[in-house]
Structures are given as C-alpha cells and as structure tokens.
C-alpha cells in the first residue's frame, strides 16, 4: 500500500512540472495560452555636447561682455562677424610699479593765488580764502574745481586716474547734510548744487555718514552711505583713489568703500562741493597712483587692454534655424600661452 502511495505522488509531481513548463512559455498552439509583452522605452534625445552652443568658454582673463544677437536665415558667417566687435577690453592682473608724482597742491593763501589754478562757483559770496578754503554761511551753490589740468584728460577717451586728498572739517555743531570732493568732473557751473557731471564723496550727514553719489544733467543720483562716528570741528582726511572704472574711498587712511565710476565719466577734474554746510578745507592735493594704492582695491592692480579678437564657430549653418555659439578668442597682446575668450549666442531665425 505504501508503494502505491509513492507512485501516485510521483505521477502528481510529474504532472505539475509539465503544467509549469507550459505556463512558463513553452511551445504551444493553444489559443488560450497567455503571452507576456515587454515594452522598451526609446532613449531620450540629448543635446550634442560638441555643438558650439553647448561648449564652455576657456579664458585666463576677464573679458568685456558682448550682447547676444538674432540674425535671419541666410546670414553668412562673415556677415555675422561683421556685426561683432573687432576689439574687446581684457582685464589683466599684474604687479603695480612706480612711485607717486604730485600733480597739484592747492594754494589757499589768498583769493588771487587760489584763482590762478581754480575756478570758484560762489554766487552768494560766502567763501573765505585766507590760509584755508572756508564757507561763512550756508549755500547750495558753492563748488570749486581745478581749471583745465592736463591730467584730467578733457575731451579724451582715456581714463583720468589719480588720488585726490582733502583735509576737511565741518564747523557746524549739527550738520544736516554734507561737504566733500568731486572727481572725474566736467561741465561744472554755479547754477545749483548738482550743476556738474561727475562723481562725489562727502562727509557730515546728521547720522554720521559718508555720502557717495554723482551728478549728471543737473540731477543728483545717490549711490550709498557709509556709517562712521562723525565729530564736528574735527579734521578728517578724505581720499579718493580713482583707477579706470573703480574707485576707493579712504577716511583717515582706512578704506571705507570701493565702488564703480559711472561709465560715462572716464575723465575729468577734481574739486570741492558743499550742500548748505559750513566747512573748511585746509589741504587739497592730487597725485598719481603708486604701487601701495592698489592694496586698497579688492582685486589689486589690474590693467585694462583693448585687444583684437578672432571669431570662430565651426558648426555655423546660415540656412539652419537654431542657436550657435560664436567664440571670440584673444591671444595677441597677452602673455605667451594665455588666452582671453568670450562667447556670444547667435540665434538664426526665419524672417
């Protein structure tokens, strides 16, 4: 009996295995059998990493940026390049050398001595010149500037770089505005407090602040304030180091602020300005920059060169709508083995 039970178990096991083979997809013509279908996803299309529009700039120096452009289908490579600059500014870090040279020392001994080098805007007749420049009453029209110095580079495209220094004192107990230095200034007139085109740094606001701003087209444009503990009737040495597109403000030898000069104000003279404040200036001088001046700039000494640029785009197709990367590469005028590069997106579109 036991042997018959074992035979029955073997038969049942064999049948189960046969059914299992059919269920696992063995050959069968049975229309009722189940077929499993696997769906394969199409790989996503990725951008060509070698296309010019996807390639990265390789530059050893900071380069002047160039705006992207849109052109119509059929615009040739040469026509595109003709619309791009042939020269670009390159900022090159370096080591400053040389010593400072005095450009001007103001003579406040008398009105006549002062007038030999300065132009005074004083409609109210409140400026005293007797060993120092001083206002004797409040006015919003007092300005004075050094007249037509060569180092101001008037009517030139070159940067006028210099260090202007003034020893200033507010003589009111509680000033409600400021007095200070104008620089890179042009078109100065006595018509009002902002009747000049130039930059300004002043001290003496009621909150004890240094005021930074500019005037243009007889309008005032505030830039920022810098806090410090102002004390009336105390001498302060205010200096502005201006170099190319940047300037640094120093108070008593301490750097207080670094800013950017208005790009339209590349050159111009220097002078004094007050807005309804009683103040004195006992010393005023202008000099060239020396190596140590660049220690006050965040990026140290940098030289800006205008250099020729060569444009390339190996995959440009004037008859194919799309975006292309045009690379401007500069090597001429740079240290051997170095290059400066900028990328411009050129979009080709149907009319």
The pLDDT tens digits of the residues spanning 85-107 come to 999 999 988 888 788 999 999 99
Residue 37 scores a pLDDT above 60 = no
Q: Give the residue-averaged pLDDT of 236-245.
A: 96
- According to the model, what pLDDT value does residue 205 have? 80
Q: What is the DSSP string of 22-60?
A: HHTT-S---TT------PPPPPPP---TTSGGGPPP--S
Residue 20 pLDDT grade (very low, low, confident, very high; cuts 50, 70, 90): very low
Dihedral of CA 56/57/62/67: which sign? negative
Report residue 143 as tokens: 């300005």
Q: Give the residue-averaged pLDDT of 205-209.
A: 80
Catalogue the E-assigned strands of 217-339.
Answer: 219-227, 236-243, 246-251, 254-260, 269-274, 279-287, 302-308, 310-312, 322-330
- According to the model, what pLDDT value does residue 341 have? 98
| pLDDT mean across residues, the chain | 87
Q: Give the residue-averaged pLDDT of 145-153.
A: 96
Report residue 303 as tokens: 């030289």
10 Å CB burial of residue 219 (0-12, 13-18, 19+) is exposed
Q: Give the residue-averaged pLDDT of 154-162.
A: 92
- According to the model, what pLDDT value does residue 304 have? 84
Q: Which residue has the higher pLDDT, 311 or 154?
A: 311
Residue 58 scores a pLDDT above 90 = yes
pTM of the model: 0.69
Q: Where do we find the tokens 């010593």?
A: 99
- Describe the chain by its helix, strand, coil percentages, rounded to 5: 15, 40, 50
Q: Give the whole-number percent of the chain exceeding pLDDT 70.
A: 87
Phi first, then psi: what are they for 179, rounded to 5°? -145, 150
Q: Which residue has the higher pLDDT, 4 or 153?
A: 153
Over residues 161-185, the pLDDT tens digits come to 999 999 999 998 877 899 999 999 9
What lies within 8 Å, CB to CB, of 81 at 6+ separation is 311, 326
Report residue 60 as tokens: 């050893």
162, 284 Cβ separation under 8 angstroms: no
Over residues 66-89, the pLDDT tens digits come to 999 999 999 999 999 999 999 999
CA–CA separation, 16 and 140 (whole Å): 108
Over residues 303-343, the pLDDT tens digits come to 888 999 999 999 999 999 999 999 999 999 999 999 999 99
Q: What H or E segment, with its residue span, contains residue 72?
A: strand 69-72
- According to the model, what pLDDT value does residue 47 have? 61
Report residue 185 as tokens: 């200034």
Residue 32 scores a pLDDT above 60 = no
Residue 347 pLDDT grade (very low, low, confident, very high; cuts 50, 70, 90): very high
Q: How far apart are the first and last CA of the chain?
A: 96
Q: Give the residue-averaged pLDDT of 289-312.
A: 92
Residue 23 scores a pLDDT above 50 = no
CA–CA separation, 324 and 75 (whole Å): 13
Q: Give the residue-averaged pLDDT of 120-140.
A: 94
CA–CA separation, 72 and 350 (whole Å): 6
Q: Give the residue-averaged pLDDT of 216-236.
A: 93
């Amino acid at each position: 009996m036991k042997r018959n039970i074992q035979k029955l178990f073997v038969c049942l096991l064999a049948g189960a295995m046969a059914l299992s083979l059919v269920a696992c997809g063995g050959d069968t013509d049975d229309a009722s059998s189940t077929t499993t279908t696997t769906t394969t996803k199409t790989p996503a299309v990725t951008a060509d990493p070698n296309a010019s529009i996807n390639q990265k700039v390789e530059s050893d120096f900071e380069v002047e940026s160039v705006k992207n452009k849109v052109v119509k289908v059929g615009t040739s490579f040469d026509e595109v390049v003709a619309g791009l600059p042939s020269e670009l500014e390159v900022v090159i870090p370096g080591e400053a050398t040389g010593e400072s040279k005095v450009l001007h020392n103001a003579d406040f001994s008398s009105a006549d001595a002062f007038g030999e080098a300065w132009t005074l805007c004083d409609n109210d007749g409140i400026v005293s010149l007797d060993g120092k420049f001083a206002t004797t009453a409040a006015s919003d029209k007092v300005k004075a500037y050094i007249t037509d110095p060569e180092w101001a580079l008037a009517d030139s495209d070159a940067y006028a770089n210099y260090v202007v220094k003034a020893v200033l004192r507010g003589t009111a107990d509680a000033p409600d505005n400021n007095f200070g230095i104008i620089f890179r200034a042009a078109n100065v007139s006595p018509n009002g407090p902002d009747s000049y085109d130039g930059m300004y740094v002043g001290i003496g606001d009621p909150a004890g602040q240094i005021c930074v701003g500019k005037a243009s087209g007889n309008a005032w444009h505030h830039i920022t304030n810098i806090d410090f503990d102002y004390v009336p009737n105390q001498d302060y040495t205010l200096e502005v180091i201006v170099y190319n597109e940047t300037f640094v403000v120093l108070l008593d030898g301490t750097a207080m602020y670094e800013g950017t000069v208005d790009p339209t104000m590349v050159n111009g003279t220097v002078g004094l300005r007050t807005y309804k404040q009683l103040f004195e200036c006992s010393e005023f001088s202008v000099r060239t920059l020396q190596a140590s001046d660049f220690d006050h700039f965040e990026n140290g000494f940098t030289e800006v060169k205008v250099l020729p640029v060569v444009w390339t785009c190996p995959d440009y197709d004037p008859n194919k709508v799309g975006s292309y990367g045009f690379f401007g590469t500069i090597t001429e005028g740079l240290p051997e083995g170095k290059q400066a590069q900028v990328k411009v997106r050129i979009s080709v579109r149907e009319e």
